[in-house]
Amino acid sequence: MCRVLVELAIPCSKSGPRVFKGFTVGFHPRSSEIVYNGLTQLGFEQLHHGFSFQTEQIHVSLYLSAMSSLAGLVGKPTLKVNPAKGLSVTLTGSGLNGAMPTTLSPTVLNVDWRCEIARSSPYEVNILIPVEGYDPIEFTLTKECGYAQKGWATFGIISCIFVILSTLLCCGGFIYKTRVEGLDALPGMAFLSAFLDAVGRDNPSSQASWEDRAYGSI
């Protein structure tokens, strides 16, 4: 009786998914509301009204952490906004600068957003974090925009112009009043004159001496 063993080598064009275990994303350094153990949590895997951020909330900080031995595999996060126009979003923080997110020292990813176009349905902010040798970490933040926000830059410019104009008007009015009414227009001069008159009545010699100094002896 003969037995034949046949070995088949089947190439795999694409390997299966590899979950980056131990990786977390949360709203606090030790929390994992968004990603837990490499898996995106309910409410952040796609657009979700129940987990949306309101219009007046213009900033949110996310904390990233991973096992120290694998923290160097985490890449730079990227984002994609849907629809592309209407919501201005920028990412900042140590999580964007190449720092390694460890459990003892999580990195911070600051999300700053401003509504430019109001709409009835929320915006989707998809954030992707590449991990070398593993499937990327992906999650979605839902942002409401009930009204457009002009931003602090415009408010700052208008405030600065108002302060400068107010200062110029005050200085101009002070100079004009001084030239028309003389030194009596200066603040406190009326009080000073009354005080000197009172002192002069009590001491006539002092009054004469002060008048000599002020107007000169005749």
Q: Which pLDDT tens digit goes with each residue over 125-182?
A: 999 999 999 999 999 999 999 998 765 444 445 565 666 777 777 666 656 655 655 5
Please report, for the chain, the start and end positions of each structural domain, with discontinuous segments joined by +.
24-143, 152-208
Token pair listed for 183: 């030194």
Per-residue pLDDT averaged across 24-53, rounded?
Answer: 94
Q: Is pLDDT at 25 greater than 60 in this prediction?
A: yes
Residue 181: both structure tokens together: 């009414």
Q: Quick one: which H or E segment has residue 25? A: strand 24-26
d(CA 66, CA 128): 16
pTM exceeds 0.75, yes or no: no
Q: What is the pLDDT of residues 91-133, one digit of tens each?
A: 999 999 889 999 999 999 999 999 999 999 999 999 999 999 9
CATH number among 3.30.1050, 2.60.40, 2.30.31, 3.40.1710, domain 24-143: 2.60.40
CB 129: neighbour CB atoms within 10 A? 21
What's the confidence (pLDDT) of residue 152?
Answer: 47
Identify which has the larger pLDDT, 195 or 44. 44
Lowest-pLDDT choice from 35-39, 129-133, 174-178, 206-210: 206-210
